[in-house]
Amino acid sequence: MDRNTGDILLDEKNNVVKVDNKNAFEQILIGVFHCDVGSEIMNPAYGFDLKRALRESYIEDSEMFIESLVMEALNPEKEKVISKVDYIKALRSGKQMNVIVQVTSIFQDAVIMEEEIG
DSSP 80-95: TTEEEEEEEEEEEETT
Architecture of domain 9-117: Roll (3.10)
C-alpha separations of 50 from 12, 21, 36, 37, 110 in Å: 27, 27, 7, 8, 24
Q: What percent of the chain has pLDDT over 90?
A: 28
Over residues 8-43, the pLDDT tens digits come to 767 788 787 777 888 888 888 888 888 888 888 888
Look at residue 103 in the predicted model and tell me its pLDDT: 96
Domain positions in the chain are: 9-117
**Local confidence band at 1 (pLDDT 50, 70, 90 cut-offs):** very low
How far does CA 62 lie from the centroid of its chain?
19
**Rounded Cα–Cα distance for residues 118 and 104 (Å):** 26
Over residues 74-110, the pLDDT tens digits come to 999 888 899 999 999 999 887 788 899 999 999 999 9
Over residues 42-59, the pLDDT tens digits come to 888 888 887 888 777 777
**Local confidence band at 7 (pLDDT 50, 70, 90 cut-offs):** low
Could you tell me how many residues make up the chain? 118
